[in-house]
Amino acid sequence: MKRMAIVLAAGQGKRMKSKLYKVLHPVCGKPMVGHVLDTVQKVNCERSIVIVGHGAEAVQSYLGEAAEYVLQEQQLGTGHAVKMAKDLLGSEQGSTIVICGDTPLVTAETLEALTELHESKKAAATVLTAYTDNPKGYGRVIRSEDGSVQRIVEQKDCSPEEDAVCEFNTGTYCFDNAKLFAALEKVTNENVQQEYYLTDVIGILVNQGETVLGYMTEDYAESIGVNDRLALSEAERLMRERINLRHMLGGVTIIDPASTYIDADVKIGSDTVLYPGTVIKGNTVIGEDCQIGPQSDIKDSVIGEGVAIKHSVLDQAEVGNRTTVGPFAYLRPKTKLGENVRIGDFVEVKNARIDNDSKVSHLSYIGDANVGKNVNVGCGAITVNYDGYNKFMTEIEDDAFVGSNVNLIAPVTIGKGAYVVAGSTITHSVPENDLGIARQRQENKPGYAEKIRDRAKAKKDKK
């Protein structure tokens, strides 16, 4: 049976008090609507329609070709929003999931179970429900003796008996597509808000003698809709716990899950250890047997196997197998480290390739450079890549040695096996196996230090 999805993402989200459109607020590194769209696509929905309104261009820009779009110019209720998809889906046969774009915690497993129940029982509609001891504010799900859904009653309309019901409507549904759009034609806005409610479809189907079922999720968290910053933080906490659990069950050691933050799309190999204070973001991929942290921040990077990273920041960097980084290193975009490389304390690397077995151990800046194999870059050495107008490349070939406090004024090449003496400022290339030295010969002036002190003291006494 064909499956489709309608994602409701047209509301403004005034309670967020934000310039950012509500469904684009991230939860664990991904906008909420991105989580929802990924989830419906995991249950094999062939078509995904996103109903956009406020911030439509921003939502479409983010989701791109992953969905089809319908603009709801006036927000006249959830029923009206779903009806906007009629031109695209009205003639389709199959099952249609309707879900809100601000419910990032709904899982694919739950949607699959909801849809399978719906399809196996040939229901007209199936409501995703949840249970809580305090359902205040939620629409109650009232079931018949046979367990089918009889109606959904909003809090303000509940009788005392209905108010005592603890099963509530999450706002996620699965419908027979043809029956959904037929029922939507009968929904009116004769209510206080003068809006068209999707919940009215349930009552219409029941009155027509159709089968309406309820599927209760075991995890209350899946019911959370994010309408303000408090709910956003709660969704972030719950999803972070879920992500950490998934990685730990997959063989990753997380020393302190409460202080470890991993984004939704991060991949981590088994036997890797994450130490407290570690933040791993974006599309980062980390191999097996790594030691990450403490207090490391890694974004959109690819880390090989057996790598150690301590107290460091990585942004769009690649790190080869068995390489060590830190403490207190900064790998900026387009950094590519080979295998068995050593990047030490207070080293910054940007737009540079450092090949296997090379070392930049302390207090250096390597920017816009290609560094070969088995190269040693001494303490305080830097590539001077910017003249105030343009960036230039530095080439350091295999087996070269660059001494401490060397300035390499790009563009310049240090040849294979060449040796640059400490303290030099190199403005011309050093050929293979040559020694480069560029510093003034030392001159000692006997007793001159005392004269300097006397002169300084005399100036001070005149003041």
**What was the pLDDT predicted at 1?**
87
Strand, helix or coil for residue 448:
helix
Q: Which of 416, 347, 405, 328 is nearest to 375 (CA)?
A: 416
For residues 207 and 255, state if they share a domain: no
What's the per-residue H, E or C state across 69-85?
A: EEECCCCCCHHHHHHCC
**What was the pLDDT predicted at 97?**
98
For residues 257 and 382, state if they share a domain: yes
Question: Catalytic annotation on 362?
Answer: yes
Q: Annotation-wise, does 227 bind a ligand? A: yes
Any domain includes 456: no
Q: Annotation-wise, does 425 bind a ligand? A: no
Q: List, for the chain, all residue ranges whose pLDDT scores fall below the cut of 70.
A: 463
Q: Annotation-wise, does 139 bind a ligand? A: yes
Q: Let me know the angle formed at the C-alpha of 78 by 75 and 81, rounded to the nearest 5 degrees.
A: 60
Reported residue count of the chain is 463
For residues 260 and 316, state if they share a domain: yes
**What was the pLDDT predicted at 95?**
98
Any domain includes 183: yes
CATH classification at residue 184: 3.90.550.10
Q: Annotation-wise, does 78 bind a ligand? A: yes
Q: Which of 170, 192, 174, 157 is nearest to 77 (CA)?
A: 192
**What was the pLDDT predicted at 198?**
94
| Helix residue spans in 362-447 (DSSP H) | none
CB distance 160 to 142 below 8 Å: no
Domain extent, residue 47, equals: 3-223
| Token pair for 161 | 């008996």
Q: Annotation-wise, does 350 bind a ligand? A: yes
| Helix residue spans in 218-347 (DSSP H) | 229-249
CATH classification at residue 388: 2.160.10.10
Q: What is the pTM of this model?
A: 0.91
Any domain includes 292: yes
Active-site hit among 35, 80, 247, 362: 362
Which own/partner pairs from 88-92 qualify as long-range (CB within 8 Å, at least 24 positions apart)?
A: 88/47, 88/49, 89/4, 89/6, 89/47, 89/49, 89/177, 89/181, 90/181, 92/2, 92/4, 92/47, 92/177, 92/178
For residues 14 and 66, state if they share a domain: yes
For residues 218 and 253, state if they share a domain: no
Number of domains, the chain: 2
For residues 209 and 358, state if they share a domain: no
For residues 28 and 110, state if they share a domain: yes
**What was the pLDDT predicted at 440?**
86
For residues 259 and 372, state if they share a domain: yes
Any domain includes 463: no
Q: Annotation-wise, does 11 bind a ligand? A: yes
For residues 177 and 312, state if they share a domain: no
